[in-house]
Amino acid sequence: MTVQAQDGVLGLFSGCVASGGIQASGRLAWQAISAAPETFGPHFQLCYGDDGPVGVPVPPDALHTTSRRRAGLAALAMRRRFGLVLVWHMDMLKLLPLLQLHGARVVLILQGIEAWRRRPWPERALLKRVDMFVSISDYTWQRFVDANPEYVTAPHRTVPLGIGTPFEGQAPHPNPTPAALMVGRLARGENYKGHREMLEAWPLVVRQLPTAQLWIAGEGDLRQDLELLAAERGLQRVVRFLGFVSDEQKNDLIHQARCMAVPSRGEGFGLVYLEAMRLGRPCLVSTVDAGREVVDPPRHGLAVDPDDTASLAQAICRMLTNSVEWQAWSQQSRQRYEHYFSAQHYQQRLVAALNSVDSRMAHAS
């Protein structure tokens, strides 16, 4: 039994026009829903977040606001009947009490770190209204049920993300200078991406590979601290802080780099790994988060404990060395992306999950 077309879908999104991974995957999801009116029927987005338009037009079937009050008033005023409410981020659950659900199924997407802690009581009460949970990785689901054990048997489905289309032609050769690339916000609130650990390991890397460079792309209030750490370690010549980069610049950096290295402690998925694998670049991930699910080491890269500086340095050196091993990683990582992680793969997985909502609920009852 699928969602009844005449009922339609309401999407509650934490912004629908920004360039972040949550917003980008949300746009792909909504494109899939919009492309299947015979399955999902009428659809409407209510987008609330701090982001304003950044070159991405607001869809005609959406209301985007940065005002919490306006989002709440829009929810209260909504009279249309929906068969399915898709909550794209846990923070959007607060709008549920303002909606007239009329028996609609509620699906909550668990994106990552926001779902890994015990929420305050009012939010825990709202979780009881969720009919099915969809996590972007098995790791995210496990962290969620560790914090909320009462949901360990709740209806759930893991739907890994996807991006873009396969790259046409041969993967470009990397820059002759062996370089590892890190991409991500340099925010103190996200000081788990592995930047400090990479900087601590880099003196060991250059002992073995004197020309090796670390390229750090991203901006935020953590950048000054990281630049100071690099200077204290005498790494000014081999570590480049690139600041904010556009998508085009990011792709060019991936082309030039020999690997993507983000040994994070807190990735709920890690879209940057897909961006690298799409272009035939292997990835270095950590052993403690969802990066392993995406990269599947050692076939497509390596996983290492970010606290083990010596092992981290050794793994980096392997990934920066032009070898038979690197050539295999490059080919296999690109194949993994093409066979499993394109935007189309992701959309197909999500549509299948949404179509299973009622059948899973019937089975659970």
Statement: residue 66 has pLDDT above 80: no
The CATH fold assigned to 179-340 is Rossmann fold (3.40.50)
| Range 191-199 average pLDDT | 96
Statement: residue 359 has pLDDT above 70: no
Label residue 63 by pLDDT band (50, 70, 90): confident
Which pLDDT tens digit goes with each residue over 106-129? Answer: 999 999 888 999 988 888 899 999
Omega before residue 306 within 30° of 0, cis: no
Label residue 56 by pLDDT band (50, 70, 90): low
Question: What gap in Å lies between CA 195 and CA 96, rounded to an integer?
Answer: 38
Question: What gap in Å lies between CA 254 and CA 182, rounded to an integer?
Answer: 10
Question: What gap in Å lies between CA 182 and CA 50, rounded to an integer?
Answer: 26
- CATH 3.40.50.2000 segments of the chain: 9-162+343-364, 179-340
103: alpha, beta or left? (left if phi > 0; alpha if psi -120 to 50): left
* 39 vs 307, more confident: 307
The CATH fold assigned to 9-162+343-364 is Rossmann fold (3.40.50)
Please report the sign of the dihedral spanned by the C-alpha atoms of residue 352, residue 162, residue 24, residue 92. positive
51's CB contacts (< 8 A; 6+ apart) are 15, 17, 18, 20, 23, 66
Residue in this structure with the two tokens 């980096």, named with its chain if needed: 316
Residue in this structure with the two tokens 């392993």, named with its chain if needed: 292
Statement: residue 1 has pLDDT above 80: no
For the packed helices 324-340 and 271-278, what is the interaxial angle rounded to 10 degrees? 110
* 147 vs 50, more confident: 147
The reported pLDDT for the residue numbered 34 is 86
Mean pLDDT of the residues in the chain: 89
Tokens of 188: 């103190």
| Range 192-206 average pLDDT | 97
Question: What gap in Å lies between CA 125 and CA 287, rounded to an integer?
Answer: 33
Q: State the SS3 of 6-56.
A: CCCEEEEECCCCCCCHHHHHHHHHHHHHHCCHHHHCCEEEEEECCCCCCCC
Statement: residue 61 has pLDDT above 70: no
| Range 295-305 average pLDDT | 97
Residue in this structure with the two tokens 């998925």, named with its chain if needed: 269
* 291 vs 13, more confident: 291
Instruction: Choose the weakest-confidence range: 71-80, 140-149, 271-280, 344-353.
Output: 71-80
Label residue 58 by pLDDT band (50, 70, 90): low
Label residue 69 by pLDDT band (50, 70, 90): confident
118's CB contacts (< 8 A; 6+ apart) are 124, 147, 148
Which pLDDT tens digit goes with each residue over 128-180? Answer: 999 999 999 999 999 999 999 999 999 999 999 999 999 998 888 999 999 99
Q: How many DSSP H helices and E strands does the chain contain?
A: 14, 13
The fraction of the chain above a pLDDT of 70, given in percent, is 91
The reported pLDDT for the residue numbered 62 is 67
Among 123, 130, 73, CA closest to 101? 130
The reported pLDDT for the residue numbered 362 is 37
Statement: residue 300 has pLDDT above 90: yes
Can you give the pTM of this predicted structure? 0.90
Among 160, 149, 158, 153, CA closest to 124? 149
194: alpha, beta or left? (left if phi > 0; alpha if psi -120 to 50): left
Statement: residue 269 has pLDDT above 60: yes
Q: In 153-184, which positions are buried (b, 16+ CB within 10 angstroms) versus exposed (e)?
A: ebbbbbbbbbbbeebeeebeebeeebbbbbbb
Contact indicator for 136, 116 with CB cutoff of 8 Å: no
Statement: residue 21 has pLDDT above 60: yes
The reported pLDDT for the residue numbered 4 is 43
* 38 vs 216, more confident: 216
